[in-house]
Amino acid sequence: MKARHRRAALIAAGVASVALVCAFVLNAFRANVMFFVGPSELASHTSSRVRLGGLVVPGSLVRDADQRTVRFVVADQRASIPVVFEGALPDLFREGSGVVAQGKVGSDGRFHADEVLAKHDEKYQPPQAAQALREARR
């Protein structure tokens, strides 16, 4: 085998190796990608896990008798969807505030969340810091 052919074979093997590594990395990214959608965009993502973002509709929060299952409605400007969550809600969770729920749309048309995150505005301060500021103003 000539040196030229050997060099071409090594370059081809290197390119094939890099392509294989890129394929593995892209496959891993695709498996872990989770889209962030609002209630009005949710219809196009019903078969995959997504993060649903929006505002909790005031008056929609209902706790089941077991106090573990929570039902509420998340809405944006155009649509709303009922959400079912089983677990403890975050401390910042309130009706009328922003929320991000991670899960999947079930066959019943409800969004079944396995994680709920409460959003806060940029003015948020931990309770201890707010208390310290109030005391400093006095």
- Domain assignments of the chain as residue spans, ordered by start: 1-33, 34-118
pLDDT at 126: 67
Q: How confident is the model at residue 19 (pLDDT cuts 50, 70, 90)?
A: very high
Percent of the chain with pLDDT over 90: 26
pLDDT, average across residues 119-132: 67
Closest by CA position to 115, among listed 94, 99, 96: 99
Q: How confident is the model at residue 46 (pLDDT cuts 50, 70, 90)?
A: low
pLDDT, average across residues 32-58: 79
CB atoms closer than 10 angstroms to residue 70: 19
> How many Å apart are CA 85 and CA 20, to the nearest integer?
40
> What are 62-97's pLDDT values in tens digits?
988 887 899 999 988 888 899 999 988 888 888 888
pLDDT, average across residues 6-35: 85
CA dihedral over 21, 25, 30, 35, signed as positive or negative: negative
pLDDT higher at 83 or 36: 83
Partnered with residue 80 across adjacent β-strands are 75
Instruction: Output the six-digit token pair for 35.
Output: 């889209």
User: Into which CATH architecture does domain 34-118 fall?
Assistant: Beta Barrel (2.40)
Q: For Cα atoms 77, 58, 69, give the angle at the middle one, nearest 5 degrees.
A: 110
| Number of residues written out for the chain | 138
Q: Using only C-alpha atoms, what is the Rg of the chain?
A: 24
